[in-house]
Amino acid sequence: MKELRAVTWIRSHPWWTLLALLILLVLFWLWASGLLISIETES
């Protein structure tokens, strides 16, 4: 069976894949904690 291009790339670049995942996780965590984007409102 022919592999998808993305899978082929991941198999040949495991460390770059790891780094990308790490960056995505850090960005998600920063956003979820309100450190990346925060909006304050008064009501």
Instruction: Count the residues in the chain.
Output: 43
By CB under 8 A, residue 16 contacts another protein: no
Is residue 23 part of the contact set for another protein (CB under 8 A)? no
Tokens of residue 15, six digits: 């460390």
4 binds another protein (CB under 8 A): yes
d(CA 21, CA 28): 10
Taking the complex as a whole, the smallest distance from the CB of residue 29 to another protein amounts, in Å, to: 6
User: What is the binding site for another protein (CB under 8 A)?
Assistant: 1, 3-4, 7, 10-11, 14, 17-18, 21-22, 25, 29, 31-43
